[in-house]
Each structure stands twice: as C-alpha cells, then as structure tokens.
Amino acid sequence: MTTFIELLLGGLSIGSVYALIALGFVVIFKATEVVNFAHASLLLAGGYVTAVLHDDIGFWPALAVGIAGAAVVGSAVEFFVMRRYRGSDQSVLAIVTIGVDILLTTELTRRMGTDVLSLGDPWGDDVVTIGGVTLAETRIAAFLVAGLLITVFLLAFRFTSWGVSMRAAAENPQTAALMGIRLGRVSLSAWAVAGALAAVAALFLTVFPTPGLERATSLAALKAFPAAILGGLDSTTGALVGGLVVGVTESLATGYQSDLSFLGRGIGDLAPYLVMVVVLLVRPAGLFGTKELSRV
C-alpha cells in the first residue's frame, strides 16, 4: 500500500510538470491552431539559460532570466517564423515548428556538449517522510508551483482582457479581428507564455531525482504530447487532467512492471500512449476537447 501511495504521489507530482508543458501546447493551439513541435527546444532553452547563469547571479535571478529567455525565444519564433507564413494550412505550420525545433535543439545540444548541467536549485536531495511515504521536496515544490501557475492561468484566462481576447481569437479569428482584437499580439503572447511555462517545467524536470540538464532532457517534453491530446488540445482543464493521467499511468506502470511483464518489460514509457489511443477511439477530440463543429 505504501508503495502504491508513493507511486501515486510521485506520478501526480511529475504529472503536474507534464501538465505545465501541455498547457503551453494548449495555449498556442487555442490562439493560433498550430501544434507546436518546437516546444521541447523552448524547454531546453529555458533550462540552459538558468543552468549557465545560476553560478554567477544566484538561483532565483537565474531562473527569472531563464523564464524570460524562453519567453523571448518563443516570441521570436512567432514573430520571425510563424507570422511570415502566408498560407492557410495549419499542418504545414506544424511541420515548420519541427524545422524550428531541429535548429534550436541542434544549437543548444552543441553548446551543452556532453555535460550534465546542474540548475543550482535550493532543494537539493532532501526528502519528506509522512507516515512511511517518502517524497522528494523537489516533487512537492513541483506540484505546488504547477498547481499555482495553472490556477493563475485559468483565472487569467477567464477574467482578464488578455484572456478574453485569446478566447475570442480561438473562437473565431475573423470576427475577433473585426471587433478590434489584434491577432498578432494574441499569438505573440501565447508563444511567450508557452515558453515561460516550458522554462518552469525544465527546472522541475532536471532537479533531483534526475541528475541535471543534458541533451536528452528535451525528450521528456514528448510526454506532454499524449497529455495534451488526451485532455483535448483546446482545453486548459484537459491539459491539467491529461498531464496528471500521463504522470500517474507512467509511474504505476513502471512501479508494477513485474506484474505487467506479459506486456514486455519497460512498459512505463509506452503506457501514456496506450491510454491516449484508447481515449481517442472513444472521444476523438479528447476528454475535454470541443468537438469540431461543421459550419458550412
């Protein structure tokens, strides 16, 4: 039972980090209907800036610069690439983000070389034990920060004018533009927000229990794909639920892999995708996604 609770809590905390990444996808998708495959490199960029600076200016300022840096990279991608596209096919734009991802990831991994970079976080490898259940402090911090950010975001989405303009843009871009909403600004801010969220996620993906930031870190961002899809690509609640589902599934499938050995060992990585395929068979738009309406 203790193991189960440990695995569950571990899954929820890592799942909340996935939710942060997935939220980034969802924000960009809502604002521009583009799936951002370059998200992994935004994450890497944020982590890299933090890792390089923390020795000189301390952890918190470095993290702030890292978050800002990833936001700037995100907006730059929007401003210099996405905005220049004249066509109308969104899946072409998705492929463009793959190109951007290749460029950014190659540059960042070349800079990182073979190092494992520490982000200099204040939690170290401390753990908290409650009733026989042990949990790393970093994971508790991840859960709290992710929860806080997601709540703030949901509120902002609902009540601020920025949130309203973004929802309007998502609903119907032409009408929104006619009502005086600047679509360019909406999509620029969406990319910036996604970058910032990715940088926060980078922090929690590279602190204890993982050794640090290195070239393979960006692969973790892939886990947010099934999270975003199974929740529904255009639903912020969906991103949260999807992230948690992926985290818990992965953790349980790994922890109980001896009992699942008929599926082949090492099923943990795969489990989120299996869940996603099942969800898509039942609900093609994800758990919370809006069903595509047919307007002619």
- Decide whether 61 or 284 has the Cβ nearer to other proteins: 284
Where do the H-state alpha helices sit in the chain?
2-32, 39-57, 59-80, 90-112, 137-159, 161-171, 173-178, 183-206, 224-231, 236-255, 271-282
**Interactions with other proteins, residue window 145-174 (CB under 8 A):** none
Torsion angle in degrees (nearest 10) through CA of 218, 220, 222, 227: -140
Cα→Cα distances 84→78, 93, 94, 176, 184, Å? 9, 11, 14, 20, 11
Q: Nearest distance from residue 123's CB to other proteins, in Å? A: 9
Q: Which is nearer to other proteins, 101 or 195 (CB)?
A: 101
178-197: contacts with other proteins (CB under 8 A): none
* Residue list 47-106, contact with other proteins (CB under 8 A): 81, 84-87, 89-96, 98-103, 106
Q: How far apart, in Å, are the Cα atoms of 190 and each of 12, 171, 228, 242, 275?
A: 26, 15, 16, 20, 28
Size of the site for other proteins (CB under 8 A): 88
Window 226-255: residues binding other proteins (CB under 8 A): 226, 228-229, 233, 250-251, 254-255
Could you tell me which stretch among 54-62, 131-139, 163-171, 183-191 binds other proteins (CB under 8 A)? Answer: 131-139
Give the Cβ contact number of residue 123 at 10 Å.
15
- The smaller minimum CB distance to other proteins, of residues 210 and 237, is found at 210
Binding mask 266-295 for other proteins (x = CB under 8 A): xxxxx--xx-xx--xx--xxx-------xx
**Looking at beta carbons only, is 181 or 253 nearer to other proteins?**
253
Nearer to other proteins, 174 or 258 (CB): 258
CB 41 within 8 A of CB 100: yes
Q: Considering only 54-62, 133-141, 143-151, 193-201, which stretch makes contact with other proteins by CB under 8 A?
A: 133-141
Structural contact between residues 287 and 294, judged by C-beta atoms closer than 8 angstroms = no
Q: Which residue in 68, 72, 118, 163 binds other proteins (CB under 8 A)?
A: 118
Nearest to 188 by CA among 165, 172, 171: 165
Contacting residue, 127, 141, 145, 177, with other proteins by CB under 8 A: 127
Name the residue nearer to other proteins (CB basis): 147 or 212. Answer: 212
Separation between Cα atoms, residue 236 and residue 156, nearest integer Å? 12
